[in-house]
Amino acid sequence: MPPPEENPPALLSWLTRPRAHHALIAVALLLLTPALAVGMVLDDHVLALLARDDSGFAGFRENPLFLFSFTLGQEETNRALMDAGALLPWWSDPHHLNAFFRPLSSLTHLMDFALWPDSPLLMHLHSLLWFAALLGIVAHIYHRFYGYGVLVAGLAFAIFALDDAHGMTVAWIANRNALISATLALPALGAHHRFLSDGWSAGRYVGPMCFALGLCAGESALGVLGYLAAHGLVLDRAPLLRRALHLLPYALVLVLWRVFFGALGLGSAGSGAYHDPLAEPLGFASALLEHLPVLLSAQLGLPLADLFYWGAPEAQMLILALSVLTVLGFGIVGHVLLSSDPLARFFGLGMVLSACVVAASVPGERLLLLPGVGGAALVAALICKLLPRVVGAAEPSRAAALLLSALAGLHLLAAPLSLPVRAYLMKLVGEAIDAADAAIPSEPAIAERTVIVLAAPFDLLLSYVQVGRQARGEPRPAHLHWLASASSEVRVQRLDAHTLRVELAAGFLYSAMERHYRGDARALPQGATVELSEFSATVFSTTDDGRPRIVDFRFRRPLEDGQYLFLRYDRGRLRPTAPPAVGERVALPRGDVVETLLHQILRTIPSP
């Protein structure tokens, strides 16, 4: 039988047509239309505030080109955010730094806020257009390496364009920087390849320039370096020293960017979710060991990266084990079937190296934009290698048929069907936050009160309420505090007129989301006290691994004082509650993102 590139099955032969990628772009955009209904969620409100002359919060730095400066690493500004209950809970590291150099992406948001400030739909449409541009560039990359009319190129593009991992990336306005940085930086790979393979002299300048532009849109452009390095290791046939010289301009751009990045005081610190490889090499190495298998597995097989971060902490080891097994399985199969295919090795290595870059961040499918370029090509190469062993073979291989069915089912059926669902999930997150917000009064008098939530099912449910209200121009509480994140059962005891004792069955800083705000869970030892304007939180006892287990909250006023509004989370909603009587104990169930979103889904289903 001829190889599948010469005589593919009828259903796949369409992918070899010259304009097939145009139709695939249209289909991808159509599947992503639910993103238009998402609205503004999470960091979208922060960008809107930082674009103003006065954000309304002492802890923010208003600057139109630095909209992605969420925390500044300064104790004074972080204490101000902790005291207001905006972004940072009481247990946050006072030197928490989460600030990035993304001026080109910031400019696109400034355009949104200037031209259509009250139309999130147009903001989402803006993001969709960037995704369309990225898809055009990815199609060109595949055709540049494989040639036009080759099945593996068309199949790789179909897998990439319809990957459900892109749902959250496109549907979250604040995540547009990933789209822009990839769109601007990926042409560097095409220019570099053309320079080396076709002798295009302009490529030696165009490539580094595109890479620099990508870095000015977002640090995720660093993922392109993974493909450039893979190109030098696999495809470049020059002597080793010459190969290194070919990559030297990109290294110089990287060094200049890093020097500029550091001089501006940007980066990540004090967080368990983001790790600066240079400032926190051990933290990055630890994150790499955990996150890389999960990200690669999500790209190739099991999409569990979001659950690894957002799901129950007890499931992390199981997800990690499944991910390692999946990656090892793909590695073995890929080595057996594709060891003689240099392009497959190039794209596979590029996927791994680019995933190493994004592994420094919170693991999730939204990070798979650039790793997905190599991942889609690797899966496409495997499918094309398996086809002649199954389709039309005199004695089809049962193992090949099973693997082919799994790959096609995951990437060509399940992923496209899941893409609109993944996009719409961001709306459910926004609606869950809105439901929590609705429990807090909106009359002007709330500006003089302090809202105390005994325990939040997950931190993001409350950490953006204050910034959301400020961005919309609505009255907000003077202070909003959640005493614990209910990642395990919460027990609350009233000690006296001013004091609540909060005990977590698994301890504080148990979930990955809690540790986003304080990377060193042992930095709050027994006896440590955090002072805020309305209460002091003192660690009464710790877990065996040094995390707070019981914390005493002593309020400045008696708990029955009218300045306080106590709330508790119950069956998907925040409800007013009276503080416990002295000596009384209250048990609150654990909660998580999945349960909260399920409650939100059930609320949207009309009653019979």
Question: Please, which pLDDT band fits residue 524 given cuts at 50, 70 and 90?
Answer: very high
Mention every residue, 6+ apart, whose C-beta is less than 8 A from residue 364: 168, 305, 306, 309, 310
**Residue 503, beta-bridge partner list:** 491, 550
Residue from 528, 446, 451, 520 nearest 482 by CA: 451
Please report the pLDDT score of residue 18 as a whole number.
84
Tell which phi-psi region holds residue 199, choosing left (phi > 0), alpha (psi between -120 and 50) or beta.
left
Please report the pLDDT score of residue 149 as a whole number.
80
Among 299-308, 408-417, 471-480, 557-566, name the one with the lowest average pLDDT.
299-308
At 153 the three-state DSSP class reads: helix
- Whether the per-residue pLDDT at 109 is higher than 60: the answer is yes
Q: Burial code of 155-165, b = ≥16 C-beta within 10 A, e = fewer? A: bbbbbbbbbbb
Question: Please, which pLDDT band fits residue 65 given cuts at 50, 70 and 90?
Answer: confident
SS (H, E, C) 415-480: HHHHHHHHHHHHHHHHHHHHHHHHCCCCCHHHHHCEEEECCECCCHHHHCHHHHHHHHCCCCCCEE
- Whether the per-residue pLDDT at 1 is higher than 50: the answer is no
Please report the pLDDT score of residue 14 as a whole number.
86
- Whether the per-residue pLDDT at 148 is higher than 90: the answer is no
- Whether the per-residue pLDDT at 7 is higher than 70: the answer is no
Q: Burial code of 417-436, b = ≥16 C-beta within 10 A, e = fewer? A: ebbbebbbbbbbbbbbbebb
Question: Please, which pLDDT band fits residue 606 given cuts at 50, 70 and 90?
Answer: low
**What is the gyration radius of the CA atoms in the chain, in angstroms?**
25
Please report the pLDDT score of residue 397 as a whole number.
82
Residue 204 CA to residue 125 CA, distance in Å, equals 34
Please report the pLDDT score of residue 3 as a whole number.
45
DSSP state for residue 72 in the 8-state scheme: E
Residue 479 CA to residue 315 CA, distance in Å, equals 34
Tokens at 315, concatenated: 């499931």
Tell which phi-psi region holds residue 504, choosing left (phi > 0), alpha (psi between -120 and 50) or beta.
beta
β-strands 499-504, 548-555 pairing: antiparallel
- Whether the per-residue pLDDT at 122 is higher than 80: the answer is yes
Please report the pLDDT score of residue 2 as a whole number.
40
Q: Cα dihedral sign for 237, 238, 244, 245?
A: negative
Q: Burial code of 201-223, b = ≥16 C-beta within 10 A, e = fewer? A: eebeebbbbbbbbbbbbbbbbbb
Among 1-10, 77-86, 296-305, 547-556, name the one with the lowest average pLDDT.
1-10
Please report the pLDDT score of residue 9 as a whole number.
67
pTM of the model: 0.93
What does the pLDDT average to over 566-591? 91
Q: Which is higher by pLDDT, 254 or 279? A: 254
CB pairs under 8 A, 24+ apart, for 231-237?
231/189, 231/192, 231/193, 231/196, 231/346, 231/350, 233/349, 234/342, 234/345, 234/346, 234/349, 235/193, 235/196, 235/342, 235/343, 235/346, 236/196
Q: Judge whether 531 and 554 are in contact, CB under 8 Å.
A: no
What does the pLDDT average to over 322-330? 94
pLDDT tens digit sequence for 51-60: 999 999 998 9
